[in-house]
Amino acid sequence: MADDTMHTRRLPAQPATPEALADYGWVIAAHPSIPSRPLNFYPGTMRMPAPFVSDEQTEISLVRLARRPLEVVYLERHFRHTQAFLPLGGKPFVLVLAPPSFDDMPPPEALRAFRFGGDTGFCLKLGCWHEFPFVLEDDSDMVVLLRRETYTDLQRVVNDEAAGADLDKRNFRRRTGTSVTIDV
């Protein structure tokens, strides 16, 4: 679709709370709604905020991100692992999400934006549509838990998209003819 026929939509970023994000995955934080239990052998407590799933080797990556325009260009989903994003250094970020579905592409009205503080991470449900995190400060470090095969799939770009057994990365803007920008 040509840019001159683009529809536009503004997406307000809402606070990232466990309740608001329940359809998309799990907040990773010391949030009071996540039960804790005593830690064996050591003083302290432990919380298990997310059931991480992967059917193959999973890698821990540390990425350093710079700010980019707050516009949704791509959406992707994973079928074999629950990807997680964990910020380091206390810098906030925004995630754009759509619920897991079997659809070829979620409709623009299904997208939601969530603003995370620098002390809160997120683990996606299997099949949850998402854009890679938007950081609000340059040089933001983030740990990304991702299946090894997915890294390989991301290298196979065809027509500005990538796909594989665990990856469906699509150009949302081109496929829907919709320009979605995020209001933080």
Phi, psi of 10 (to 5 degrees): -105, 135
Under 8 Å CB-to-CB from 57, ≥6 apart: which residues? Answer: 147, 148
Under 8 Å CB-to-CB from 50, ≥6 apart: which residues? Answer: 25, 26, 27, 28, 82, 84, 123
Domains contained in the chain, CATH given = 3-183 (2.60.120.480)
Distance (Å, whole) CA 105 – CA 102: 8
pLDDT over 90 percentage in the chain: 71
Q: Which of 17-21, 29-33, 118-122 has the lowest mean pLDDT?
A: 29-33
- The pTM (predicted TM-score) of the whole model is 0.91
Bridge partners, 61 (sequence order)? 144
- Structure confidence at residue 2 as a pLDDT band (50, 70, 90): very low
**pLDDT (tens digit per residue) in 33-87:** 888 889 888 899 888 888 888 888 888 999 999 999 999 999 999 998 899 999 9
- Structure confidence at residue 183 as a pLDDT band (50, 70, 90): very high
